[in-house]
Amino acid sequence: MSIIPFHDRDGLIWFDGQMVPWREAQVHVLTHGLHYASCVFEGERVYNGSIFKLTEHSERLVKSGELLGFTIPYSVAEIDQATRDVVKAANMTNGYIRPVAWRGSEMMGVSAQHNTIHLAIACWEWPSYFSPEARMKGIHLQMSKWRRPAPDTAPTESKAAGLYMICTLSKHAAEKAGFQDALMLDYRGQVAEATGANFFMVDKDRVIHTPKPDCFLDGITRRTVIDLAKRRGYKVVERAIFPEELKDAVEIFITGTAAEVTPVGRIEDMIFTPGEVCKNLMLDYDALVNGRLEKAAAAE
């Protein structure tokens, strides 16, 4: 398989207020964000030329920076517009957007009080991974040895680059063992999330259970799917979920900007059959992001 590296592509990237040729959007090797993880980011999707939940993502980006002790020098409205400009410049219909903000290179050390805060926004083509029919086979998850940290040990409400180090380690280990992703517990030993997606399970009464996001990110897709589930009439319970409960689940699925709604068919040696709840939420989410759900609601 031929891989096109991300540093060597055609196109434009919005970088500190202006469009820059893709290959020229560079930072110095001594940038603080690289050495000390003072970096936050977002992942967004473009569907049929429309950016899904754009303002919510921009707001979270700004909040993430504040949680890391820095202020992004652009308003939410300015970030929204810059994101639209990037999509327009790329003539993007369906794709992925990556806004990223970080501390620059004026100071190199733990302290970086005088470093410039930079912001860049890039986008690239990224169609849906699978059709709803193909995704219904369910992905396989390995239990990770790494745990999500306690909220008094890391800024767990931020989408900070440093918090994803153990996600990369977990996913690499899972893929090496023949799984597609990993399921992570939190510092208390409770079920938390996958490496880049939130976790849901369905019981025999079709009640949907999901962990409280008190030490990991309360995903924008997570909240969207909860709303869709309630609209369907499903009961959704946010609570502590323990690993020993997994074997009793009827359906399990994960949600995220990249994952969208993806059923799980296996966790370690536990087998699950994706069913009606997963399928309905997959279809509803697909209809929502493509504008069909809103049109149907308006017609009611």
Reported as a pLDDT band with limits 50, 70 and 90, residue 3 is confident
Secondary structure class of 61 (helix, strand, coil): helix
Task: State the fold for domain 132-294.
Answer: D-amino Acid Aminotransferase; Chain A, domain 2 (3.20.10)
Using only the alpha carbons of the chain, give its radius of gyration.
20
The whole-chain average pLDDT of the chain stands at: 94
Q: Provide the 10 A C-beta neighbour count for residue 93.
A: 13
Task: Give the phi and the psi of residue 183 in degrees, each rounded to 5.
Answer: -105, 130
Reported as a pLDDT band with limits 50, 70 and 90, residue 128 is low
Name the residues annotated as catalytic: 159
Reported as a pLDDT band with limits 50, 70 and 90, residue 135 is confident
Percent of the chain with pLDDT over 70: 94
Q: Where on the phi/psi map is residue 187: left (φ > 0), alpha (ψ -120 to 50), or beta?
A: alpha
Domain definitions of the chain by residue range: 12-125, 132-294
Give CATH for domain 12-125: 3.30.470.10
DSSP state, 138?
A: -
